[in-house]
Structure 1
Amino acid sequence: MRTNSVNVVRIPTNGPGDVSGLLSLIQQGKIDPRSIVAILGKTEGNGGVNDFTREYAVSALSAALAPYVDLPSQRVEQRIAFVMSGGTEGVLSPHLTVFTRDDVSDRGSEVISGKRLSIGMAHTRDFLPEEIGRDAQIRETAKAVAAAMAQAAIVDPQDVHFVQIKCPLLTSDRIEAAMARGNETATNSAYGSMAYSRGASALGVAVALGEIEGEIEDKDVLRRFDLFSSVASTSAGIELMHNVVIVLGNSASSAAPFAIGHAVMRDAIDSAAVIDALKSVGLHTEHDSKPSTAARELVNIFAKAEAAPSGCIRGFRHVMLEDTDISSTRHARAAVGGLIGGLSGTGAVYVSGGAEHQGPSGGGPVAVIARLSDDQSD
């Protein structure tokens, strides 16, 4: 009994407000806007606190989709999970990845073997500024991950291959509001708060999936880097005060013609992990003499990137953390984006910077979605 089917479409954009590609597919009948459940995007901002391309993109998408879902634009975000990641340095290309989901009835005599791509979404409650980067964010994120897994009909945590989270950050106003209540925030730095929020959110994923044993304390965030999730990808933004959680994995309840797999990069130049992730869904690199499994096509690659906190990569010093002109997250996105682009043959991949507690220190998860033939069995 297959209960749902997921479709995934990657759409290039000409700017953060460009919705023409999405609208064209809707008008051609290739995307049913009422079935859209999530949109992940890469925008060409700086990826920092003042990157308003993320909010601009969400606003443009909400306004464009509102007439199709019979909701005012300000309420579209309650129906569709939007995650915009700023920063398309180097060869990275701005684009959207649109996920749709439809319920399907029993396929009867049709045989679909193996587990297929499934998606689930959940939202945490809004956080107080003083809760960002702390236990409350970890606990609430873990609850949301469990809820999203249930929605996706994913039972085994091993079938979860990527958990994308959009989380909040601190601003001077939010810090002052906490102080007015007599509370201190995890940090007084708006930019620094992005790391705290990303890290706590990632630890919440690790808790939910059983990747960490024992209790996690506030002091572990951004300190115990031996604690991490191998599938979490978290991105902080100014446009919200809660966590948006998107779980991607494979489920026996899905009839989707897609599959997802992942691997874990141990550092920013770990090409072997990218190759392993591609192979996990039957794909091979641009230059591999062995062809990809018949009728399998790359849809997109999702990865995390960060400048190794140790200041070294495989024994050699890097200066990403010491550049006062360009932030280390921008360096890391460019480096990992170039590596993945060279192996996959496209720069239209989703690479997000800042991998605190997302994979081993200096590394991060890399997930691949592939389209299978309609009758492909695993």
Structure 2
Amino acid sequence: MRYLSKLVGLGFLFLFSNSLVADQIPNKIKIGILSKYSPDTVHIIAKNSRIQYSGKNSLEKDKTILVRAEEDQIRIIYGAKNSRSEHILFSGGEYELEVPKDQTPKKYSGDLEIISSKGKLKLILTVPLEEYVQIGMTSEFGDLFYPKNEKDLNPNWKQEYLIVASAMIRSYALANLGRHSKEGHDLCDLTHCLQFSGKLKKENIQFSPSKKILLQDKSGKVLETFFHSTCGGNLSSPSVLWKNFKNPQYYRSGPDTKGGEIQCRNSPYFSWETFISKEEMETALQAKQLTELEPKYSESRVTSLDYKDYSGKKNIQASEFLSKIGKLLGWNKTKSNDFKIEISTRGFYLKGKGFGHGIGLCQYGAREMAFRDAKSEEILHFYFPGAELRPIQ
């Protein structure tokens, strides 16, 4: 699970919306891949691809190529042949990519363009929108389709949940289209945007919804469909994190309950506890002789923390606090921004609920609704009240 890095990357530190009107849906989407590696060299096995560079254009059944960054050009090596080019384009094929830092092959399909900038390779993969949605859905929701016990469940729950999950990925991606436009693509393949794991495995190819839905606001703009693993029973408005957030009325806030029961109560992340030593907390906060640490709340979620050390009283925003703890101790050390703090002589006990920022759709709560016979439209309207659900082809 990657929800804490998403909590910081997607939820706290960056807010983007290009206000795409739903009538402007593109057929394809550009993804910056291998983002976490920033490779200077990549080994490529290309299958059934047309390859273009330096005025050359050939259709190859199988070809193995080494591409290396050289300032703002790339070196292309295959067999005894060696040339330089500003870019190389692979069209309509399948690829296995290896980088020096991780030689496990990464598999992709689509159109792949590679350029060099300041000695680093940029790899941009263009794929059909719905293929991206399917891959993103498998990456972000995949584990939830395999509960430990499926007895006595609505037999249609999986199809309804598929519709919901794909609507989340489709709407969020389109609302953030162009987020990386300065880098030449729409989205990255990390939790900063949406996790994109590459070519689907055979068992996931038929893993598709029976209908496609796009969420939009009353003006027809695509709605930014935030989601998280587990709300812990408490959903919050986006304005808890972003004071000037527009149209918060489209996102449910308050208890995530049906029939008096918390819907995500069976999530393994429903509640959590963690201990952070005084030394670790002082290192994270760059503080000395820390004596106080008090959370400040809005809608039952931490928005900032007051603390006191040898130099006096200070305040830190929840986003920065979680980022500092995550970088020092790991992103799962504090699983959400819904927690209380108990101070001891040794350090700080954090007792919290949920996994993620609590905004938008609770994945475990939505699945529980599907378990209990709720249709996809009912689930989407529950978490995004007032949103319009637009069927698309």
Normalized against structure 2, the TM-score is what?
A: 0.25
- More strand as a share of residues: 2
